[in-house]
Structure 1
Amino acid sequence: MASIIVKFGIIRYLSTHSLTRPRVVFSGIQPTGIPHLGNYLGAIQNWVQLQDTASANDKILYCIVGYHAITLPQDPVHLETERFNMLASLLACGIDPSKSLLYNQDQVPEHTELAWILNCITPMGWLYRMTTWKSKLAVARNANSEEEVNESMLNLGLLAYPVLQAADILLHKSTHIPVGEDQTQHLELAQDIARAFNHKFNTDIFPIPQQLSTPTKRVLSLRDPSQKMSKSAPSEKSRILITDDPAAISAKIRGAVTDSNPDITFDPTGRPGVSNLLSMLAACTTESSVADLDSTAQLYRGKQIQDLKRDVADAIIARVEPIRTEYERLRKDLAWLRDVSQAGDQEARGRVGQTMSEVKKILGLARH
């Protein structure tokens, strides 16, 4: 039997088992570029809300997943810088180390240790069915259109990283995972792996992690509203970064692709560009992530698209400018960032040692 609790705009799916134990909320983000507005509205804002509304018995954990970043080629010097950029970004957005455990996954070796163990019980067929694997294969084929490309040309990390994601989750015995719809399949795999391990070894060591989802819609590209806003898109004008200044935000919104219809209506299928602007406006001006976007569109009856774009830019600037200012302040204090990072890494290592001891005992690998 499952219960559903709706609070602060977050839909919480709770199993009967999870109701009997404190919540362990866990999520991670790659250090591959400054977060954009979509990352903030779709994930990080929700993380802050979860942190600030957690009960005294809840444990909130967020990590920067460096091992996931290296599934694609990375410049080592650039990656080191990006890890500090992401740390400063999360802190500037409101993640509070006194309320949440914030750490670097790549500084806690138990993540990869558990991933190897889980690799040994995860069928290859489960991984080949992952849509992310299929999409990476399609990208590789498009990039090499003149030659035959198959899965043997992609690295093992791209195939197996969903198992590492499962290890990230299960290592902390996480009960609740705040993820968007695009990560649902990965969470389902983590659930399957937890069940498989528990069944194979006749144990209940791993709770089945439940999804915490928010009705906030994904933010779309400003240049191609058929795609979601992305850090990897070729055009910098396609995204708004949390470090963009007001002039940059205004220019990007003025250049946002819409359509030739002068009326302002909310129609995500027929008018994705205009609808994206309305969604961003509502998300930046309402406390709840749920908004009546048709009513928002009605406010612009008889007005022009330039009026909507001006208001969208103003709303985004009001939301982002305090974050940008705080990011710039924090990024200048590298010593303090190192202290926060090291403290989080040390606490995380202390948490996961017990889990790995239990796992090894179950496997027959316990220390003599």
Structure 2
Amino acid sequence: EWLVMFKNETHNHPTEIEPFGGAATCLGGCIRDPLSGRSYVYQAMRVTGAADPRTPFAETLPGKLPQKKICQVAAKGYSSYGNQIGLATGQVAEVYHPGYVAKRLEIGAVVAAAPRDQVFRGAPSPGDVILLIGGRTGRDGVGGATGSSKEHTDTALENSAEVQKGDAPTERKIQRLFRNPELTKKIKICNDFGAGGISVAIGEIAPSLVIDLDAVSKKYDGLDGTELAISESQERMAICVDSSEIAYFIAESDKENLECKHVANVTDSGRLVMNWRGKTIVDLSRAFLDTNGVQQSTRIHVGDISGSPSTNTKSLVDTLSDLNVCSQKGLGEIFDGSVGAGTVLWP
């Protein structure tokens, strides 16, 4: 018996301001979510929306990249990640509409599966430990979660550091590590690192935690406690295991040339605590965090939508002149649809 998982996500804002990295980490995040459920991703799909890429450079809106630049570089970013990690991307489609001038649409989707008997979800207990497996932590992605919700202004391109940097080979190593059924059955809870970094990926694993930010592997020196806590550096996994399993996971990770660090402990204090350089820089009540902030509401009025359906009066010439009916064969061929020997029907 198998568990089948579907995942999709958008990376509209990151791809708008840094097309290669934004599109690459769109796919990386799609892969990592089901991977945290110990499942293996077999196929991917990419659906995007853009304004007319033939628009002259002189007509580009102030503070924005040209549509041609975004379309071409984003396709290279997404395909680069998929081709490196060995994931077949079978369906690739791009829709063109003037509405995407304001913000691009970048959707990545995957399908994954795992044998049911290899997936175990337990409950954290005081004394358990949190291990960080995979990539190192840097400043890339700091502010990414909030950045995607900010108003897009003519200074948005100055915030490209918000965009995460993908590392497909490291994520491939995590995939191989999680193909070991003996290892996956020892994992009580697993979270991938996305929006919010350590503060979310580790912070939501257990009701009570003490996180040692000094134990986190860094890409370079100079990061302060806040940056370590909220960095969205990619290809990292947080797992909750029994303390007796630390040596086992370090040894198994080493076989895949992956770093595995003990970075947090599960307690019974009812608080989320983060320590950095001998000081406690976060000490929050779990009861407060569980309120999920202020509840918001809004009123919506939907106008009259009745009326007769419109008829298609476009001529054959007009239809054939529409950018949306042109061949997208060249776009699709950037993506490897055969890797993994799992493709049966081609687009």
**Could you state the TM-score of these two structures normalised by the residue count of structure 1?**
0.29
TM (normalized to structure 2)?
A: 0.31
